[in-house]
Amino acid sequence: MKRLYFVLSVLVALSMLLSACGAPATEKTVLNVWSFTNEINTMAIAFEGTHPDVDVVYTMIPMTNGEYQTKLKAAIGTADTPDVIALEAAFVKEYVEADFLADLGELLPIAEAAKTYPFVTDVGTNAADGVIKGFAYQATPGAVFYRRSLAKEYFGTDDPAEIQALMADMDKFIEMAAVIKEKSDGNTYMVGSSGDFQNPFFANRAQPWVVDETLVVDPMVEKYIETAKLFRDEGYEAQAQQWQEGWFAGMNDSLVDANGNSKQVFSYFLPTWGLPYVLAPNAKSADGAHDTSGDWGVVTGPLPYQWGGTWLGAMAKSPNLELAKEFIRFCTLDEKNLTNWATGVYTNDYLKAIDPQVPEDQVQAAGDFVSSQVVVEKITASFDDSELSAFLAGQNSYAGFAAAAPSVNAKLMTGSDDAIQRALNDPINQYLNGVIDADTMWTTWKDALRVEFPNLVIK
């Protein structure tokens, strides 16, 4: 027993020693920022550089298992609320439509001057009363990436303009898929999964999901399911799910079906961030045997859409509301900051000069697509020779997105979208697998919706 007590007391002493710490009190104004990513911290440090009297206390809470959303929802009613919160596309509208965020209307003239893409401000605006509550530093228009070598093989050209003409609308996209299947003997799929083009279809609905508390199924939704069924039945898609290994394997041409036959994927629907973070790293297979870098082209694709993105909002109750607004202005509308952000000025050394405590890999590489059209126009040319442009065989990656961005529309987006769309996925899968028929699919989905939307009228 004595030994046991000894071990215990050593453990206690050790833990006290290790956890002993003391942060010196600062006299600066403290601005509390909560986010689910590390990246805004880069701008927070830059903000401290231009505002030496401010101490931005940055708190990162992951949202993998819903920690961030739960903590936000728990904290918003209490005295512990932060001043500024980051909001992801999936749940930004919930907060924009609620009463907790401050009206950022006074920043609108600045946004106009910066020519912020309209769909970015639309997302931050409460459609019910037109009040704007969130701005974003990035715009995340979507595009279609295609394999140049396969395009040459099946269509005789890999020129982006010609490929865009070939897939200018969804009917043409389907025709393309048929041609590819025929010419490849079914060994090349148009897309990795039918989930790839779900976003584009949904982004081009004519009506929102909910009108007057009543569920609306837009014709575009039916069209999507029809198309997905066609792709499954005709074998135009690889049946890989997004974010699953088969989907990634297709990016570097190492996709092999269960029998060991090699398969190709012709195109991927990905937004701005998808290029540097998803497609480019996965273009090399893990074993190094396959590499598709330089074999990609980018076009706007059949339907304009946007995917993801991070918005910033200020808590209405914040005691430092003016400072919070200034922080949001700096991050999302300041021309100099956005230029620095997008062109790789915020190196680790740059940040270390402001705050020596900055961790080694806090850095923002060049290439993020920003929300200000003014900035985009000014810096596009600087990406002519970038690494990502080389990845696209010389096509300017930034210009590709700049072409896609103006046609994106986000006016229909509401706080309920994410849940409504996620509830549809499993019924669709069951329908595509042939387990249930279309009618059962619709009723299963509508039943599931009642769980999260008790007041929704469903016909």
Partner 1 sequence: MNQASLKRNYYGYLFIAPFVIAFLIFGLYPIYNTIALSFTDATLMSKTGNFIGLMNFERLFADDIFMNAVKNTWLLWILNFIPQVGIAMLLSVWFTNARLNIKAVGVWRALFFLPNLLMPAAVAALFFSLFSFYGPVNQFLVRSGFLPEAMQFLQDVTVTRSLVIFIQWWMWFGQTIIILIAGMTSIPLPLYEAAMVDGATSTQMFNRITLPLLKPILIYVFVTSLVGGMQMFDIPFLLTDGRGSPSGSIMTNNILMYLKFSSSKGHIGAASSVGVLVFFMTSICALAIFYFLREKDSATSKSAKR
Partner 2 sequence: MFNNYKFNTNLMRVFVYIVLVIILIVTVVPIWLLIVNATRSTVEIQQGISFMPSTHLFENYGILLGRGLNLGRGFGNSLFVAVASTIITVYFSLLTAYGIVVYNFKGKKLFSNFIVVLVMIPMQLSIIGFYQYMSKLGLTDNYASLILPLIANAGSVFFGKQYLESVVINDLIDAARVDGASEIGIFHRIMMPLAVPGAMTMGIFAFVAAWNNFFNAFILISSIEKYTLPMLVQTLRGDVYRTEFGAIYLGLAVTVVPIILIYALFSRYIVSGIAMGSVKE
Site residues (vs partner 2, CB under 8 A): 1, 4, 7-8, 11-12, 14-21, 23, 36-39, 59-65, 67, 70-71, 73-75, 77-80, 88, 245, 248-249, 252, 254, 273-274, 276-278, 281-282, 284-286, 308, 357-362
3-state helix, strand, coil in the chain (%, to 5): 50, 15, 35
Nearer to partner 2 by Cβ, of 32 and 227: the residue is: 32
Contact string (CB under 8 A) for partner 1, positions 50-79, x = contact: --------------xxx--xx--x--xx--
Distance of alpha carbon 326 from alpha carbon 419, whole angstroms: 33
Nearer to partner 2 by Cβ, of 118 and 276: the residue is: 276
Partner that binds at residue 454, options partner 2, partner 1, none, CB closer than 5 to 8 Å by kind = partner 1
**First-to-last C-alpha distance (Å) of the chain:** 70
Q: Residue 454, interface with partner 1 (CB under 8 A)?
A: yes
Alpha-carbon torsion, ordered 169, 175, 180, 183, to 10 deg:
-150
Q: Residue 260, interface with partner 1 (CB under 8 A)?
A: yes
Nearer to partner 2 by Cβ, of 23 and 128: the residue is: 23
Three-state DSSP state, 244: coil
Partner that binds at residue 67, options partner 1, partner 2, none, CB closer than 5 to 8 Å by kind = partner 2
Distance of alpha carbon 100 from alpha carbon 458, whole angstroms: 29
Q: Residue 402, interface with partner 1 (CB under 8 A)?
A: no
Cβ–Cβ < 8 Å for 362, 41: yes
Q: Residue 182, interface with partner 1 (CB under 8 A)?
A: no
Contact string (CB under 8 A) for partner 1, positions 426-445, x = contact: x--xx--x-xx-------x-
Nearer to partner 2 by Cβ, of 269 and 431: the residue is: 269
Distance of alpha carbon 224 from alpha carbon 229, whole angstroms: 9
- Compute the Cα dihedral for 51, 55, 60, 61 and give only its sign: negative
Contact string (CB under 8 A) for partner 1, positions 89-118, x = contact: --x-xxx-xxxx------------------
Q: Which residues 6+ apart lie within 8 Å of 298 measured at CB?
A: 143, 144, 145, 146, 160, 275, 392, 395, 397, 400, 401
CB environment 362-385: b (16+ within 10 A), e (fewer) = bbbebbbbbbbbebbeebbeebee
- The count of C-alpha atoms lying within 13 angstroms of the C-alpha of 135, restricted to the half-sphere facing its C-beta, is 33
Distance of alpha carbon 160 from alpha carbon 145, whole angstroms: 10
Around Cβ 265, how many Cβ atoms within 10 Å?
A: 26
Q: Which of 111, 255, 328, 402 binds partner 1 (CB under 8 A)?
A: 255
Nearer to partner 1 by Cβ, of 272 and 318: the residue is: 318
Nearer to partner 1 by Cβ, of 407 and 425: the residue is: 425
Mark out the alpha helices in 76-142 (DSSP H runs): 89-96, 108-114, 118-124
Contact string (CB under 8 A) for partner 1, positions 140-179, x = contact: ----------------------------------------
Partner that binds at residue 26, options partner 1, partner 2, none, CB closer than 5 to 8 Å by kind = none
Which segments within 113-213 are labelled E, that is strand? 135-136, 142-147, 188-191, 210-211
Cβ–Cβ < 8 Å for 86, 35: yes
Distance of alpha carbon 150 from alpha carbon 50, whole angstroms: 49
Nearer to partner 1 by Cβ, of 197 and 431: the residue is: 431
Partner that binds at residue 12, options partner 1, partner 2, none, CB closer than 5 to 8 Å by kind = partner 2
Q: Residue 239, interface with partner 1 (CB under 8 A)?
A: yes
* Binding residues vs partner 1 (CB under 8 A): 64-66, 69-70, 73, 76-77, 91, 93-95, 97-100, 239-241, 244-246, 249, 255-260, 415-416, 418-419, 422-423, 425-426, 429-430, 433, 435-436, 444, 447-448, 450-454
